[in-house]
Structure formats: structure tokens, C-alpha cells
Amino acid sequence: MGTELFPPLAPARGRSLEGILPLIDKTFPVPGRFRRDLPGNVADLSRLLTSSRNERSLSYLNRPPLLSAYLRYFLPWNLYRLCRLLPGLDLPLAPGDAVLDLGSGPLTLPAALWISRPELRSLPLEFRCLDRSGAALEAGRKFFAALAGENCPWTVKTISGEVRPGPARPLSVGLGGKAPALIGALYLYNEICQPIPPEDPGALSRLAESQAAFLAGLGGEGGRILLLEPGVPRSGEFISLLRGHFIRLGCLPLAPCLHSRPCPLGKGENRTKRAAKWCHFAFDTKDAPRALRNLSAAAGIPKDRATLSFLLVEKPPLARTAMTGAAPVPLPPAEALLRIISDPFPLPAGGGEAGHCNLYGRYGCGERGLVLVRGGRRRIESLASGALTRVKPGAGEDPKSGALVGDLEST
């Protein structure tokens, strides 16, 4: 994995994404009179997925206008986010490996891997894609066939079913086949978590515990599990809880984490003033397809930035036993490696008001926990969300967050 989690799109991936909306239009043509309704349908679906979740039925994607809006708006935006993320992740798939995509919708993960990881296109891979919407899966089969062409060596099996929140029978159907080398659960748990009231954190932790055990039980030895959720506080909290339970099962966090200590942003005894912070990443969308940005603007939901929370873990080899996640790790005395997890912001100088100096900060996360990274404005703003950087220990802690203070190295 490189020093940047979300590098700008490579030219080939950018061209592929530019062709997504025309390919969807060709694969799923709609009359002009219905196309005029598309921005409104996108706005309606966005409300059902956010502020009006309680009005959404389980089969909402079986309604043609909403499925059309999902295919032309949410699918391309999800592909864009994944095509920014997947190239930087360690996903060592080999010929004959199986990939399980839970909550696949219109085969989002296979399509994103095809676009963003061209080295995989020649490998014979087996995909099993599960979703509760048969209409979304069927649309995904047609879309992926159009995307990959007739000579694609990948085999795709769609399964109508759902992931259940309880520890008993977490799947509504059997999956069959070999243990997957990669399990994807993308934008799955924000829907499963939705009925849990915010005032019941214990229920969220119990759900994370049961789902970590369920996911870890599906993959083969050394397999990867990739979770991706919206970059909002509730999703970040759930990802942090999952991470802790994965570690206790012996799974190793690979990204975005640089350590297997308790999450500095997770709720628990290691957290003090950090209640307003959660692990998420943001990047600008200037390289997203122009037609997609235009549709977003027409629907009244323009996207200048994309945000997400994610976690990639590795299942343990048989020789590794379960871990507590709290074992001390030797730390270098003079520097620390951190991953940037916040936007830049001005810092006060000598007790003055913020913004009256050239000192800026961003939060980073590493083995030392949460760290306030300080430096000159230009250097701080040049760091990308998710980038790795080294800092020298500073004095004291950040009074606002309780984070340790570190200064950017001079080189």
C-alpha cells in the first residue's frame, strides 16, 4: 500500500468511469419522458436512504423509478469512491479464488474491481453476490456483462438473500462454494444499524460482535474482509466496534489502521474528550465524471467531496491465536508514523484567536493514538486525507480533543 489511500484516478480508470453513465443508458434505456423525472427520482431515493429511512421498504429497489435512479446515481458514485480506494489496498487475489460480496446490489464490488484493478481481469475468479433485491442483482448481471464483455474469465453467481442482525442464522440462505479469499460488505451495515436507537450503544456493540464473528467465520485462512460505510459518525462508531471485535478474534487490521491497539476514536476507557470525532476520510471529486456531477447538481445534492469510513482486516493463519488488542508495542522515541484523518484547520498562536497565524493542524492516528499534527499552513494543507506522515513529539496535549501533539518533520 502506498503513502496515499485515495490517489487521483489514473487516466485509464478515469476514462472507464466516464463511460459508466453512457453504458448504463445503453444497457437500461429509458424513454425521454422518464429521463426528465430522473433528478427528482434521485432526490426521492436520497431522502429514503437518509432523512426518511423509516419510510423505506425492504424492497425499495424493486420499484423501477428508484432502481433507475440507483443505477444512474448511487451506483456510479459508489464505483467512483471504490475506484479511488481499491488501488491502494492489499488484495492479493490468485487464480481460482472466490470473492463474496454481501449486499452487492447491482454487483458493485465486481464492477469496481474490474475498473480499478486491471491486473485481475485475466484471472479466473469466482464471485458470489448476495442481495435481498432480485431486481438489483439482475440489473447488476446485465451491467457487468456489458462492462466486462464476452471473454471475461470471472464467473458470477447471484444469490437472493440477506444478512440478518442476530447471532442466530445471520444469513437467510446458504452460500455454498469455497471459502472466499475476499469478503466485501459495502454500505451494508448502515441499513442494518438503522433501527438501533442512538441511546443504546450496547446494542450496537453486540451487533458488531456478532457480525465480526459471522464475517470471520466465512473467509478462509489469510483471507481479507473489506467493510465500507458512509463517512458519518454512526458508521464510524460501528466500524470502530467491529475492528475491536475482529482483533479479539485474531484478525489483523490492514487499513486504514497502522496498529492493532484499541481504536483511539472508539468508545471505551481509552477515550476521553474525543466523542465528537470518528474515523472517516474525505477527498474532492474534481475527477469524478462530469455527467455524474451534473446529475448530482440537478437533483439538488451536489458533491464537491466524497466521504467514507472503511476497514480492511486479514483473517488469522491457524497458528495465530486470538488477541486482546491491548498488548504494548514498542514505540520509536523520536518520531511516529501517522495516517491523516481530518481536514486542516487553523491553530491559535500563544493563546490568540484561531486563524491569526500561519500555524495549522490536522488530526492523525497511529500507534500513539490520536495525534494533533502541527505545521505551516501550506505543508498541512498539502497532506491528503489518508496520507502517511511522520511527526516529532511535541509538548503536552491538544486541549480540545485530548490528543497528543506532534510537529511535522522538516523533510
**Residue among 14, 70, 2 at smallest CA distance from 286:** 14
Enter the pTM of the model. 0.89
Q: What is the mean pLDDT of residues 123-141?
A: 95
The larger pLDDT score, comparing residue 50 to residue 408, is at 408
The answer to whether residues 366 and 260 touch, using CB atoms and an 8 Å cutoff, is: no
Is the pLDDT confidence value at 354 over 60? Answer: no
Partners of 406 in beta bridges = 373, 393
The larger pLDDT score, comparing residue 353 to residue 144, is at 144
Is the pLDDT confidence value at 12 over 80? Answer: no
Q: Torsions phi, psi of 209, nearest 5?
A: -65, -45
**Angstrom distance (rounded) from CA 379 to CA 377:** 6
Query: Taking the domains of the chain in order of start, what are their residue ranges?
Result: 11-314, 336-408
pLDDT of residue 53: 57
pLDDT of residue 75: 95
Domain 11-314: CATH superfamily is Vaccinia Virus protein VP39 (3.40.50.150)
Is the pLDDT confidence value at 325 over 60? Answer: no
**41-75 residue pLDDT tens:** 899 888 887 755 555 555 567 778 888 999 999 99
- Give me the DSSP letters along 180-237: PSEEEEES-HHHHHTTS-TT-HHHHHHHHHHHHHHHHHHSPTT-EEEEEE-SSHHHHH
Q: Considering the chain, what percentage of its residues have pLDDT values greater than 90?
A: 49
Partners of 375 in beta bridges = 360
The larger pLDDT score, comparing residue 257 to residue 271, is at 257
Task: List Cα–Cα distances, 406 to 46, 180, 365, 392, in angstroms.
Answer: 40, 41, 11, 5
- Give me the DSSP letters along 110-171: HHHHHHH-GGGTTS--EEEEEES-HHHHHHHHHHHHHHH-TT---EEEEEE--B-SSSSS-B
pLDDT of residue 335: 67
